């Protein structure tokens, strides 16, 4: 794993020199199984789990016995709220629950490294000296995005809160999204064709992934 040297540009595609980024983050071997584990874990955490069905004890209806126990030639039913009747309860139906499960921090961190390394290997990671826009107009943003040669773009900046102009400009565009470096994750990277990061965001990601894991 060697350090990677990438060119730095801006929205106008001007040459802003080069920058060296950490090879142990942006040049690690690609492992699809690790990425799969992390994406599956992220999607499980996002599930609300609010699905719910009513059991026979929760549906409305009388508890009176339908007919006498013997002599009718029919089955020995005891309640209209049983699952086999229309309007009855649901047997073994879903109830609200959490789908979240634990995934080791080392695996989660490795997954982010692999996703970033894949974008570097595909030449789909672009470094900007500054991702801010001069205006909050979406029309202006849509004139600049085609210059990147892609359609779905994820913009990452090193600040905790993204600038007002870039946030407002991207709000009505489905294919272009913004996220602070603190919230960068594997699933968001994979949902977009190209990753646009400021140099400040790269340095923050390096500090984040070089920090020892607290146990």
- pLDDT single digits (tens) 7-20: 999 888 888 899 99
For residue range 34-46, list pLDDT tens digits in order. 999 999 999 999 9
Which residue shows structure tokens 């949902």?
191
DSSP 3-state of 185: coil
Phi-psi map region of 65: left, alpha, beta (phi>0 left; psi -120 to 50 alpha): beta
| 40 Cβ contact list (under 8 Å, min separation 6) | none
What the chain holds in terms of domains, given with CATH numbers, is 4-48+99-210 (3.40.1370.10), 53-93 (no CATH)
For residues 142-169, average pLDDT: 85
Distance CA 185, CA 41 (A): 12
Say yes or no to pLDDT of 215 above 70: no
At residue 180's C-alpha, the angle toward residues 36 and 188, to 5°, is 25
> How many residues belong to the chain?
215
The answer to whether residues 205 and 164 touch, using CB atoms and an 8 Å cutoff, is no
Q: What is the mean pLDDT of the chain?
A: 91
Predicted confidence at residue 62, as pLDDT, reads 86
Dihedral sign, Cα of residue 159, residue 161, residue 163, residue 167: positive
Distance CA 10, CA 56 (A): 63
Q: What is the CA radius of gyration of the chain?
A: 27
| 168 Cβ contact list (under 8 Å, min separation 6) | 136, 138
Residue 138's nearest CA partner among 162, 174, 92 is 174
């Amino acid at each position: 794993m060697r350090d990677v040297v990438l060119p730095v540009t801006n929205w106008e595609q001007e040459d802003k020199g080069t920058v060296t980024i950490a090879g142990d983050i942006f040049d690690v071997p690609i492992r699809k199984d690790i990425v799969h584990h992390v994406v599956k874990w992220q999607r499980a955490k996002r599930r609300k789990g609010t699905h719910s069905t009513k059991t026979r004890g929760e549906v409305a209806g009388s508890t009176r016995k339908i007919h006498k126990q013997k002599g009718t030639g029919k089955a020995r039913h005891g309640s209209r709220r049983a699952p086999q009747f229309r309007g009855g309860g649901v047997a073994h139906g879903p109830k609200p629950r959490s789908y979240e499960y634990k995934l080791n921090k080392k695996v989660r961190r490795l997954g982010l490294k692999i996703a970033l390394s894949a974008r570097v290997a595909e030449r789909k990671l672009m470094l900007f000296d500054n991702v801010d826009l001069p205006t909050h107009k979406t029309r202006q943003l849509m004139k600049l995005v085609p210059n990147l040669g892609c359609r779905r773009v994820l913009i990452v900046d090193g600040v905790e809160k993204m600038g007002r102009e870039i946030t407002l400009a991207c709000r009505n565009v489905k294919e272009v999204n913004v996220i602070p470096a603190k919230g960068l994750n594997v699933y968001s990277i994979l949902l977009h064709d190209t990753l646009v990061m400021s140099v400040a965001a790269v340095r923050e990601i390096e500090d984040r992934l070089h920090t020892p894991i607290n146990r």
